[in-house]
Chains A and B, each alone.
Chain A
Amino acid sequence: MNGGQDLGGTHGHGAVKPEPNEPVFHGNWEKRAFALTMAMAMPGGWNLDMSRFARENRPPGEYLSMTYYQIWFAALETMLKERGLVAEDEIAAGHSLYPPKPVKRMLSPGDVEKTLHRGGPTERDTNTKAAFKPGDKVRAKNINPRTHTRLPRYVRGRVGTIERIIGCHVFPDSNAAGAGENPQWLYTVRFDGRELWGDEGDPTSKISVDAWEPYLEPA
């Protein structure tokens, strides 16, 4: 979606302000919001791409005025409610008011370490051949889906060079919609700063995105 999350090249946000000696979390609620989000993925049954869409799918003004963990938490609430796992009146009451829905499994303390260590690799086997090879010129397609995509607006319509074939990976545009992993070839595509930003671009800069094959066409 062309939402508030797609920030590359937008103006007016001001300077980057690093915080000296920044703590990992700011306040206890951030810790709990983070951990709840991590722990609920398993019983909630959603995938990473669904989570990302739940975070970005809000009015851009809202997205930009929330802190990052506020966005995470709002997305968690949304996904729980969509699946009927929690109701608004329960959050308002601060207690469970209805019987729990059966869930596949929960994250037990004993599972935390191995679950984190295993992670969620997204590379998949395939019988298909990659359509592009390193050095090929490609154009990022001018797509504008209202749904989740990982092709940022700032490269759409621009011509770049295939730098590397990464492998065949889960396709977020499908996975976020619950339409299956639909693995696709993934490439690192490099663009010149001037191709992306015209005369305003830094001629010494090169910018890459990792782009799935359906995002690309020969140029």
Chain B
Amino acid sequence: MSDHDHDHHHDHDHSELSETQLRVRALETVLTEKGYVDPAALDLLIETYEKKVGPRNGARVVAKAWADPAYRARLLKDATPAIAEIGYAGRQGEHIVALENTPKRHNMVVCTLCSCYPWPVLGLPPVWYKSAPYRSRAVSDPRGVLADFGVTLPKETEIRIWDSTAEIRYLVLPMRPEGTEGWSEEKLADLVTRDSMIGTGLPKSPKDIAK
């Protein structure tokens, strides 16, 4: 563990954070000494969510659905086994539902009560997803929230918000960008952003990645 933990991100009293840092360290020592936790298991848990599980997983799912109509149909019918086909499954993704964006409907996912998020395909949620501004307004002012992300949708588009109040985890299947005919899944995956799979963003365009 580093002795130089700094946290410049949150607007909190620094001494309070130092207090938390010390307590976390103290508790880990106590739990280890008691034989309740193995620090090597903790390291593996951290490594899994820092290095292995993240939005790149979801991007592969989306790209496959864009490239393969049969896979797309399976994903929309029953996402959990379809996602497991590519090897992603487990904690906080036991019951996944894929939501198809269309020209008429845009889907957006929130957890107003805590931070429910499809870990196997998106990794751990970003701070904004767990924050009061997003959790309060996604359900009551979705277009305002989208504006915070620089996204404007046509006035007539239906905005469909999914509040993850149970153990169902939602993955947005964004619309395939134009000008990507014949692209490989690998190349398509580069267009898929984390936010486009939450519904607070749109996929990149071929122009964006050519830059």
Interface residue from A8, A15, A123, A152 paired with B133 (Cβ < 8 Å): A15
Residues in chain B near residue A195, CB distance under 8 A? none
Interface residue from B89, B115, B136, B143 paired with A10 (Cβ < 8 Å): B136
In the complex the two chains form, is A109's CB within 8 Å of B40's CB? yes
Count B interface residues, CB 8 Å. 86
Residue of A nearest to B1 (CB): A28
Residue of B nearest to A123 (CB): B95
Residues in chain B near residue A73, CB distance under 8 A? 20, 23-24, 27
In the complex the two chains form, is A166's CB within 8 Å of B42's CB? no
Residues in chain B near residue A22, CB distance under 8 A? 126-127
Residues in chain A near residue B102, CB distance under 8 A? none
Which residues, 62 to 85 on A, are CB-close (under 8 Å) to B? Answer: 64-65, 67-68, 70, 73, 76-77, 80, 85
Looking at chain A's contact residues, is the secondary structure mostly helix, strand, loop, or mixed?
A: mixed
How extensive is the interface on chain A, given as a class? Answer: 35 or more
Give the shortest distance, in Å, between B9 (CB) and chain A (any CB). Answer: 5
In the complex the two chains form, is A117's CB within 8 Å of B36's CB? no
- 9 sampled A-B residue pairs with Cβ under 8 A: A8-B138, A13-B133, A29-B20, A39-B37, A91-B30, A106-B41, A107-B38, A116-B91, A204-B157
- Interface residue ranges, B against A (CB under 8 Å): 1-2, 5-7, 9-10, 12, 17, 20-21, 23-31, 33-38, 40-46, 48-50, 54, 89-95, 112-115, 123-124, 126-128, 130-143, 145, 148-149, 155-168, 195, 200
